[in-house]
């Protein structure tokens, strides 16, 4: 039996969440051999190791250990080291038949480029998403990765429309659903079994969760201060839990906002959490305030109101059908929508079609040629 040799690449927190169910689905096919490559884009144990453990992912076969650096430095290291991995081929000998990348981080784009230079076909999971904001590094990564890939695996109808408008043929595009929701549904029961909510002195449906990391929110002192002031005000009526990204913590300190947060005793600041711990908190929250793309999707699946601190989104279905509202940097709008959540007048959302926990199974069938 000839093995289908696949190289699957992860590098950052969102990649692990998306790749875990896909590895399980591919593992059901004896004719498939997977080499898992970790670029090391996220290397902190709290942003990397804990996700492998909680998501039940096997350890990577190859670790590129690229670490941090500027976008150019990081991309160059991944490209150089990934090219060598692909040239060497899988451990069993021979060559790789396909590279699979997920999402829109530097690791995904650089690995896809390395494969393209070696004429190895590329599958892109979460293809076609567009914010139409090229100031976002992720947008450039999406566009480049999609241009390279010949197998475009799409999570929502807007992605199909974008790719079609960009001239991609229908036989390259497959609407498969959302692999992040596969992981969410797989992990939800064990996450909610954790005792974190009561441990933090909270009650289900009686608190907000906050997560911010994008430069548009945390790099501008005025914007960051405005957000913190609104959160401090709302915390008097609705306690807030804020797992703070290391980059955001540095900005809070630089802007001398630590003391304001200390005075707001109902805002509980935490270090980054594991996937399961974070899902425990978000799934039982009254509202989420975030600038994360993936969390717009997860809250939509969970039915939790999501106030998105961005001017645009590459996931429009979460606004059109789901629970997300784009706030941008408008702190007055943030305060107004938080009031609507507290008053019970915030919009209701629905979970999109194909966000059913079976996207990875559909992808595996396509990759092995059964569909």
Per residue in 351-364, pLDDT (tens digit) is: 999 999 999 999 99
- pLDDT tens digits for range 35-67: 999 998 755 545 567 778 889 899 999 999 888
Helix axes 331-343, 221-234, angle to 10 degrees: 20
CB atoms within 10 A of CB 12: 22
Task: Tell me: pLDDT of 196 over 80.
Answer: yes
- pLDDT tens digits for range 303-358: 999 999 999 999 999 999 999 999 999 999 999 999 999 999 999 999 999 999 99
Indicate if 187-343 has the same CATH topology as 4-178+355-367.
Answer: yes
**What values do phi and psi take at 18, rounded to 5?**
-80, -35
Calpha distance 64→87 (Å, rounded): 14
Please give, one letter per residue, the 3-state secondary structure of the chain: CCCEEEEEEECCHHHHHHHHHHHHHHCCCCCEEEEEEECCCCCCCCCCHHHHHHCCCCCCCEECCCCCCCHHHHHHHHHHHHHHHHHHCCCCCCCCCEEEEECCCHHHHHHHHHHHHCCCCEEEEEECCCCCCCCCHHHHHHHHHHHHCCEEEECCHHHHHHHHHCCCCHHHEEECCCHHHHHHHHHHHHHHCCCHHHHCCCCCCCCEEEECCCHHHHCCHHHHHHHHHHHHHHCCCCCEEEECCHHHHHHHHHCCCHHHHHHCCCEEEECCCCHHHHHHHHHCCCEEEECCHHHHHHHHHHCCCEEECCCCCCCCHHHHCCCEEECCCCHHHHHHHHHHHHHCCCCCCCCCCCCCCCHHHHHHHHHCCCC
The candidate with the shortest Cα–Cα distance to 112, out of 137, 140, 146, 84, is 146
pTM of the full structure: 0.93
Task: Tell me: pLDDT of 165 over 80.
Answer: yes
Helix axes 275-283, 293-302, angle to 10 degrees: 50
Residue 133 pLDDT = 94
Average pLDDT, integer, range 264-291: 95
Q: How confident is the model at residue 139 (pLDDT cuts 50, 70, 90)?
A: very high
- Which has the higher per-residue pLDDT, 308 or 93? 308
Q: Tell me whether residue 245 is one of the annotated catalytic residues.
A: no
Residue 91 pLDDT = 82
If you average pLDDT over every residue of the chain, what do you get?
94
Catalytic residue (choose from 42, 71, 213, 245)? 213
Residue 351 pLDDT = 97
Handedness of CA 21, 48, 282, 157 (dihedral sign): negative
Assign a CATH topology to domain 187-343: Rossmann fold (3.40.50)
User: Of all residues in the chain, what percent carry a pLDDT higher than 90?
Assistant: 87
C-beta of residue 308 within 8 angstroms of C-beta of residue 217:
no
Q: How confident is the model at residue 32 (pLDDT cuts 50, 70, 90)?
A: very high
Assign a CATH topology to domain 4-178+355-367: Rossmann fold (3.40.50)
Average pLDDT, integer, range 128-149: 96
Please state the domain extents for the chain: 4-178+355-367, 187-343
């Amino acid at each position: 039996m000839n093995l289908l040799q696949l190289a699957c690449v992860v590098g950052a927190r969102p990649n692990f969440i998306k790749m875990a169910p896909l590895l399980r689905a591919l593992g059901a096919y004896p004719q498939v051999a997977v080499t898992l490559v970790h670029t090391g884009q996220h290397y902190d144990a709290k942003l990397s190791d804990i996700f492998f453990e909680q998501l039940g992912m096997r350890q990577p076969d190859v670790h590129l250990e690229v670490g941090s650096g500027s976008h150019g430095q990081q991309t160059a290291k991944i490209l150089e080291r990934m090219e060598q991995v692909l040239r060497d081929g899988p451990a069993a000998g021979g060559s790789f038949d396909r590279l699979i990348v997920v999402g829109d981080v530097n690791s995904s784009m650089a690995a896809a480029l390395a494969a393209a230079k070696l004429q190895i076909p590329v599958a892109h999971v979460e293809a076609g998403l567009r914010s139409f904001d090229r100031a976002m590094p992720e947008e450039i990564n999406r566009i480049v990765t999609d241009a390279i890939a010949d197998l475009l695996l799409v999570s929502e109808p807007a992605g199909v429309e974008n790719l079609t408008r960009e001239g991609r043929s229908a036989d390259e595009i497959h609407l498969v659903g959302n692999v992040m929701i596969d992981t969410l549904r797989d992990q939800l029961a064990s996450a909610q079994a954790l005792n974190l909510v009561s441990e933090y002195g909270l009650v289900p449906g009686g608190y907000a969760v906050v997560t911010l990391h994008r430069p548009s929110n945390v790099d501008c002192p005025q914007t960051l201060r405005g957000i913190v002031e609104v959160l401090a005000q709302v915390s008097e009526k609705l306690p807030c839990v804020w797992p703070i990204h290391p980059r955001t913590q540095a900005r809070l300190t630089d802007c001398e906002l630590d003391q304001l947060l200390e005075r707001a005793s109902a805002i509980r600041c935490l270090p980054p959490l594991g996937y399961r711990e974070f899902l425990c908190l978000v799934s039982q929250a009254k509202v989420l305030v975030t600038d994360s793309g993936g969390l717009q999707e997860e809250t939509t699946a969970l039915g939790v109101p999501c106030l998105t601190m961005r001017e645009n989104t590459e996931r429009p279905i979460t606004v059109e059908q789901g629970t997300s509202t784009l706030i941008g940097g408008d702190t007055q709008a943030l305060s107004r929508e938080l009031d609507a959540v507290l008053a019970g007048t915030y919009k209701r959302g629905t979970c999109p079609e194909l966000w059913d926990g079976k996207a990875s199974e559909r992808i595996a069938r396509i990759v092995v040629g059964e569909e």
